[in-house]
Structure 1
């Protein structure tokens, strides 16, 4: 009898919870490298698309992640209608071909009929598919999703990171690797970005099963990867190399996105409380590994989830707003790639631990305040101008 009562209580607890809103932020699918280097053993003809463009594999990855989101939000939780409703969903992408195309394929997977055996190939006919609008702004004015958009405060903090003795000591300890790269690649390594760009070329070639040059041994590849990833995370504000977290650098990289996502939650609650039938239920953000990493840092999640690794192609982060009979709370889910299911990472959020792996919304907002940037259109000025003012020292 006691077991039966506990079972009934668990059922009631589940039924009393309601999913109000989902916001997904994902990386684009697999792409061609952004650059080549002088002594590269491969020329541009090995790639079926121009540099930096989405590969056919990346299209399929984006589609399959869309199918996964369909299963969660259309079938499992019935948050979204199976047919497109303009009032339910808003899609935003950076103004890059690979992120825009990834958004389109993700949406095809999200809305298309999934009864066929070969979902991807049969879906290319786009039968009965209603195109979904994807919104964007010029890349250099995209303060929401482009972490490299010009911001004086961020650039000031970035330079401070580069000047710290701990970072200079780290680079000095890796000088033998840098010299070897320069000797064999024909590159001149002038800054941290040159190191990251070179590793990106190697990574993309290796990911697509192209043999690396003979001088790139497995040990050297691992050394370059570790150096590149450590430098990227350190210069993005993570607590590394004996230096504490740079809150300002993290804030001016993804604090506006954090604020935007929280505002969407507050708006959703207001619409729900006012019984607005056609309320927004799903926001989609198609962006980059840099965007996803930067946002994870504002949650205190990046190092716990990935260490110094970067998000994989088509990785998806979902921020869910839930309601029970007492309160509003959020849940955080992550899918590393097309092969990995969503996993609950809510307990990774810093300063927001609760029982049952939830994070109460009010508590989440309080812990997020130090990372948030609040930008509004006011006095007739647009968001870009107001953000630029905030970015001034």
Structure 2
């Protein structure tokens, strides 16, 4: 009997200690970035048998009813996951939402919020409509360097073109030349690189996803031969660290600044933004994952989600005061744990900050570095420098010859029309 009591006491101690440890790690902030839900194709390829928009449930590039439901359920998942952390009622003091300026991402954010914050109490404005409007912030795509990453940047374009025209990429494209030619012949597209092939693969994927019968010619290449190249294309925008700074630097700068502000807040009882939600695209997630060095090449599926959680360890004998956990939820019911190189899964915030600082850049820095001079444009690599130097020498030589020609011509003209001293007397 005594042995049974001892065992029971040990079990209770383990439970109590375990509970104490859990209580010591307090979640203080969450940042969520997700891809929109299921959509139609953005633009059909030239020989596409489904190029007639009337064949689709909604217009090209628009969110389908399935996509709306995907995000409504994802919002419910967030409500369940963060039920003890988030307020039951929506409040602008604790929640901030931003989307790219695209219909499908704005609608996905709205559907997600409907599942996350159904109206409660005084927030019910119509008993027959279990929904409430919640602000979603956005910015025109061509002005957005923060989330859409579509704002023009001359410096990035130079770096990207150099990378695409590198020997490594030329070799990879040459190795897939036969595949490109096959796709060109049957699709009518002009495919000569991974990016163009990725767009075609995406169209075929969505048409197959929506139960359209694909053309016979696709059986030779879809999905097996096209998928690995399409997956790789998602890594290209941030394939090099210098590229990643321009694509994701402003986002990581904001993330670090936000977490630091939460970490150093003076009065922990005050309202503060606990949750930030960003609605984007497959490229948004791929760029962030690749920049962090944790991207396994793939096309981030509909409603896939990247999560950053900031915790505070209140244990007095712990050196780990604040730490970050990263999760990636794709098609699995529960998100996968992601570990940065150089850190543990429970990544100490100071280490997390040091790992991300080389990537991060403010919007002011982004604007300044994106503006490049003509000289820096042509001197980004040795090949451009040689070409520029050669052209400059040619121009200088041409100007020198032109000046010499004009000088000789003028001298000759003066000689022909020079009046002799006694001309007047002879006349």
Alignment pair present for 1:333 and 2:327? yes
Give 1:58 deviation, angstroms: 0.7
Distance (whole Å) between structure 1 residues aligned to residue 259 and residue 159 of structure 2: 30
RMSD over aligned CA atoms reads 2.1
How does 1:1-393 map onto structure 2 within 5 Å?
4-42=12-50, 43-74=52-83, 78-112=84-118, 127-217=129-219, 219-233=221-235, 235-238=236-239, 246-271=240-265, 273-302=266-295, 307-325=296-314, 326=318, 327-337=321-331, 340-346=332-338, 348-353=339-344, 357-375=345-363, 387-393=366-372
- Report deviation, 1:141: 0.9
Distance 1:150 1:351 in 2: 33
Q: Distance in 2 between matches of 1:89 and 1:281?
A: 6
Deviations 1:83-106 (A, max 9, x none): 111101000000000000000000
Q: CA offsets, 1:234-279, max 9 Å, x none?
A: x2233xxxxxxx11111111111111111111121233x3235211
Deviation at 1:135, TM superposition (A): 0.3
Paired residues, number: 353
Cα 1:7–1:218 shift into 2, 3 Å: farther
CA distance in 1 between partners of 2:213 and 2:289 (Å): 33
d(CA) in 2 for partners of 1:183, 1:82: 56
Structure 2 CA distance for aligned equivalents of residues 341 and 201 of structure 1: 26
Deviation at 1:153, TM superposition (A): 2.2
Gaps of 5+ in 1: 115-123, 239-245, 377-385
Greater gyration radius: 2
Compute the TM-score of the two structures, normalised by the length of structure 2: 0.78
**TM-score normalised by L of structure 1:** 0.85
Q: Runs of 5+ in structure 2 lacking a partner?
A: 1-5, 121-125, 373-427
